[in-house]
Amino acid sequence: MSATATADRSQDTPRSQADHEVVIVGTGFSGLGAAIKLKEAGIEDFVLFDKADSVAGTWRENTYPGCACDVPSHMYSFSFEQNPNWSEMYAPQQEIRDYLERTTDKYGVRPHLRLGVKAVSATWDEAEGLWRCVGEGKDGRIETTARFVISGIGGLHVPAKPHLQGLEGFEGPVFHSAEWDHSVDLTGKKVAVIGTGASAIQFVPEIAGKVGQLDLYQRTAPWVLPKADRHISRAERRLYRRFPALQRAYRRGIYLFLELFVYRVITGRRLGKLFEKAGLKNLERGVKNPEKRRKLTPDYELGCKRILMSNIYYPALDRPSSDVVTDPIAEVGARSITTADGTTRDADVIIYGTGFNTQAMASSVEITGQDGRLLANHWHDTGIQAHRGTMISGFPNLFFLLGPNTGLGHNSVVFMVECQIRLVVQAITEARCREASVTPTRQAQDSYNSKMQADLGDAVWSRGCKSWYLDAQGRNITLWPRETFHFYESTRRIDPAEYEWATAEGAAPTADDHRELLEVA
Ligand SMILES: Cc1cc2nc3c(=O)[nH]c(=O)nc-3n(C[C@H](O)[C@H](O)[C@H](O)COP(=O)(O)OP(=O)(O)OC[C@H]3O[C@@H](n4cnc5c(N)ncnc54)[C@H](O)[C@@H]3O)c2cc1C
């Protein structure tokens, strides 16, 4: 983008009016949080598109038995909307969904919703300084324009399904944990569960007691630590309602515990070993069968993949009607699965617990930035990366919530989303003051990402084990590499010098402008 200095923005050629100031895609924690904070900043001209017919994202879609958060609910919620009524330390799916529905109403977001609309593409119109967005709804194609686009499409959203030879000939039901088919009665059935992701750890114990036979096809044995779960009594909930400061203090305690303690487990080797001992003790307690215990013993360093927590997963697999299969699947038959060692096991139902395609963010909406550059191609060349996990050089006025390297293995991502939203609202406010578009400079983005990859240095993910946190080149593109208060610091206050601010004439404000406009913002 060309930029020549000018101090007099009143001489700029006015750009044409967009239909909306902001389009938000997605209505999970990210989209709803962004909407609430835009309203708070006095920006009311925005719409939220979601391909589904209701809000809540992850917590609308995942309805499998036993679905719950795995970060304590008092932390896994908005800081500005704490809920004194969580019934469990780790709230079940429906409670989190209800919480997000209530929050939508309480903060007046509902009139802005455009549900049942899938965002298909967004193209930057350089001359007009706006995004041309295309969606598909029940009534056909929808076209709209917006000055700013905020993507809250979620990183764990598109189910990952392995390609299994012969699957098309399987005669029974097949579904993914995120698309649970509640019409299938599993009672007495022979059920093949494929994969041991975080969702499988939750639904396996729920179904193990009712199915006739459960075969768990496992590629990697996860680390499963004991879960400090508990019911939150009515009296305790009353206390939080009466004394909100108490709940805030409790939340802070959980945050610090997860942050300072568990994080060190991931980066430091000694504490990690202590936790590995706890995981092995959990396994010993839960599984008496020595052969199963052997198969369920992880063979990689704790923390390299997501650390899971459950007190009921191992006992569920120790049942005589449960088996753990570690030979790779060779072929699926009409009512069976054959593994590479030649063993064939009967199966009435196949359930995938194989997690999500975390790289779908790059391609699920076709995004075209400056000079007609497709984001998917751009990221193919540069690797998936963004400035402060949120903005991408060459893609003005576009913001990704839970973008590259903002995921966490140890604390609530809602914290990260809130940090990003703070940065996004500042960027939008300032760009509006300048009547300019905003994009990070290539230099700022490169230097941010080099530093981050250096910070990842010796952390457990970089010590040779394969996980969905890494791309094909072995770069961690998913996780924030340090304590989250560093991300808070990194996003707290926008530094205008890290961005290009381009007006209709392609003009960038001077240093004096920067100072003046920061004061306005
Ligand atoms: C089972 C499960 C449990 C989890 N537990 C935890 C936990 O305990 N702690 C934690 O920190 N994280 C957890 N996570 C991660 C979780 O995804 C995030 O915490 C959070 O819910 C992400 O919110 P989001 O709004 O960014 O994305 P989502 O909740 O995934 O919402 C994305 C929304 O975008 C919509 N969308 C996507 N593409 C389009 C499109 N093209 N057009 C229109 N709409 C679109 C979707 O329909 C969806 O509503 C869990 C994830 C899963 C799957």
Ligand 1 centroid from CA 211, angstroms: 29
Report whether residue 71 contacts ligand 1, using a CB cutoff of 6 Å: yes
Taking the C-alpha atoms of residue 521 and residue 509, their distance in angstroms, rounded to an integer, is 15
Q: Which atom of ligand 1 is nearest to the CA of 55?
A: 49
Tell me the pLDDT of the chain averaged across its residues.
Answer: 91
Find the mean pLDDT for residues 320-339: 98
Indicate if ligand 1 lies below 6 Å from the C-beta of 66. Answer: no
pLDDT class of 156 with cuts at 50, 70, 90: confident
Atom index in ligand 1 nearest the CA of residue 33 equals: 25
Cα of 187 to ligand 1 centre, how many Å? 30
* 518/486: higher pLDDT: 486
CA atoms within 13 A on the CB side of 168: 1
Percent of the chain with pLDDT over 90: 78
pLDDT at 263: 64
Please state the pTM of the whole predicted model.
Answer: 0.92
Give residue 5's pLDDT. Answer: 32
Residue with the bigger pLDDT between 158 and 63: it is 63
Q: pLDDT of 334-379, one tens digit each? A: 999 999 999 999 999 999 999 998 777 667 899 999 999 999 999 9
Residue 57 has pLDDT above 60, yes or no: yes
Burial 78-117 (b: 16+ CB within 10 A, else e): beeebbbebeebbbbbebbbebbbebbeebebeebbbbbb
- For residue 412 and ligand 1, the question of a CB distance below 6 A is answered with yes
Answer yes or no: is pLDDT of 485 > 80.
yes
pLDDT score recorded for residue 1: 35
Contact partners, residue 433, CB within 8 Å, separation at least 6: 517, 520, 521
Place of tokens 């969905």: 468
Q: Can you read off the two tokens belonging to residue 342? A: 């030649």
**Ligand 1 atom closest to the CA of 67, numbered from 1:** 1
pLDDT tens per residue, range 278-318: 999 999 999 999 999 999 999 988 878 888 999 999 999 99
SS3 labels along 130-154: EEEEEEEECCEEEEEEEEEEEECCC
- Tell me how far the alpha carbon of residue 156 lies from the centroid of ligand 1, in angstroms: 6
Q: Hey, whose CA ends up nearest to atom 27 of ligand 1?
A: 154
What is d(CA 239, CA 359) in angstroms, rounded to the nearest whole number? 43
Specify the ligand 1 atom closest to the Cα of 413: 11
- Residue 329 and residue 324: Cα distance in Å, rounded? 13
User: 148 in ligand 1 pocket by Cβ < 6 Å?
Assistant: no
Burial 327-349 (b: 16+ CB within 10 A, else e): eebbebbeebbbbeeeeebebbb
**Given the DSSP bridges, would you call strands 499-502 and 437-440 parallel, antiparallel or unpaired?**
antiparallel
pLDDT of residue 7: 33
Q: In what helix (H) or strand (E) does residue 250 lie, and over which residues does it extend?
A: helix 244-256
Q: How confident is the model at residue 505 (pLDDT cuts 50, 70, 90)?
A: low
Q: Which of 94, 157, 251 to mutate to test the pocket of ligand 1 (most atoms within 8 A of CB)?
A: 157
Q: How far is ligand 1, taken at its centre, from the CA of residue 520, in Å?
A: 34
- Could you give the CA distance from residue 357 to residue 226 in angstroms, rounded to a whole number? 27
Q: pLDDT at residue 521 above 50?
A: no
Q: Is the CB of 346 under 6 A from ligand 1?
A: no
29 pocket-lining for ligand 1 (C-beta < 6 Å): yes
pLDDT at res. 455: 79
pLDDT tens per residue, range 103-121: 999 999 999 999 999 999 9
pLDDT of 262 = 65
- In short, whether 27's Cβ falls inside 6 Å of ligand 1 is yes
Place of tokens 């305790």: 236
The reported pLDDT for the residue numbered 358 is 76
pLDDT for 151 beyond 60: yes
| Ligand 1 pocket residue status of 21, Cβ below 6 Å | no
For the stretch 453-478, pLDDT in tens is: 887 766 777 666 777 777 777 778 88
Q: Among candidates 71, 31, 88, which has minimal Cα distance to 412?
A: 71
154 CB near ligand 1 (under 6 Å): yes
* Mean pLDDT in residue range 195-201: 95
